Structure 1
Amino acid sequence: MTQSIATIALVVKSYDEAIAFYHDTLGFDLAEDTPLDGDKRWVVMAPAGKSGARLLLARADGPIQEAAIGNQAGGRVMFFLETDDFAGDHARMLAKGVQFLEAPRQEPYGKVAVFVDLYGNKWDLIEPQR
């Protein structure tokens, strides 16, 4: 049997502002935007190159989900965006206004720097040690 984690839900305030951030700022592709019942949508973003898990942008529905926006991992890094061009991606992200919480650092597992998305969720930009 072969299994993989294909899609991860991320609770967001607004479909359109989240699409704009992930597409225009991080360079993700809009893989799917399908209307559902009412004003809900099935919105899936895929990293450039379309490898790895995709993000399902799930608009918050009610106060409990709204309270989780930006803190779904309790303040820890939640996502790991792997790249084969750390310096280039880091520079492009800085130019687009992405907020990095630290300078890039070299770890035994690779080059890494923590950044936040538009809601404050923490991400690692990482170029794994090969």
Structure 2
Amino acid sequence: MNWTLEVVIVPVSDVDRAKAFYADRLGFAVDHDTVIDDDARIVQLTPPGSGCSIVIGKGVVPEMPPGSLKGLQLVVPDLRKARAELVERGVEVSEIQVVGENPRPVPDPLDNVGFIHFADPDDNAWAVQQISERA
């Protein structure tokens, strides 16, 4: 039986501001934006190529303090290109960092060990790792 992670709740203080950040700055697709009533709204967004989405909202998502989610990780095949794209879109992103040593010889020294980091407007923290091919 497969167990797939399909949705992660991201706690935010301002749904419209967060939606704009994830859609306009990061390029996530807006899957749906459902207003249930004045106190309840769900917005689902999906990173390009991902099978897992994030949900932001109010009134119907578990209560977590905005900015309390740390360590979400995206994976890209080209970290240099991903960083350049984020910078071009106005995202404050770290320089490329190499964490550890590569477990096997690879054509690009960033594979498996190259990371960048950024945060959303509420300070939910994200990492981006380069993996261009799987073992």
SS of equivalent residue, structure 2 residue 10: strand
Q: Which TM-score applies when normalising by structure 2?
A: 0.77
1:15 maps onto 2:18 in alignment: no
Q: Which TM-score applies when normalising by structure 1?
A: 0.80
Confirm or deny: 8 A CA contact 2:33 2:42 kept in the other structure.
yes
What is residue 106 of structure 2 aligned with on the other side? none
Give the Cα separation in 2 of the matches to 1:30 and 1:85: 24
Deviation at 1:28, TM superposition (A): 0.4
Specify which structure has the higher proportion of helix: 1
Specify which structure has the higher proportion of strand: 1
Deviation at 1:88, TM superposition (A): 1.5
Deviation at 1:43, TM superposition (A): 0.8
Give the Cα separation in 1 of the matches to 2:33 and 2:57: 11
Confirm or deny: 8 A CA contact 1:80 1:124 kept in the other structure.
yes
How many aligned residue pairs are there? 120
After TM superposition, the structure 1 = structure 2 runs for residues 84-123 of structure 1, keeping only pairs within 5 Å, are 84-100=77-93, 102-107=94-99, 108=102, 109-123=112-126
Runs of 4+ in 1 over 3 A off after TM superposition: none
Confirm or deny: 8 A CA contact 1:106 1:112 kept in the other structure.
yes
Distance 1:104 1:19, change over 3 A: same
Deviation at 1:19, TM superposition (A): 0.9
> For structure 1, which runs of at least 5 residues remain unmatched after alignment?
none
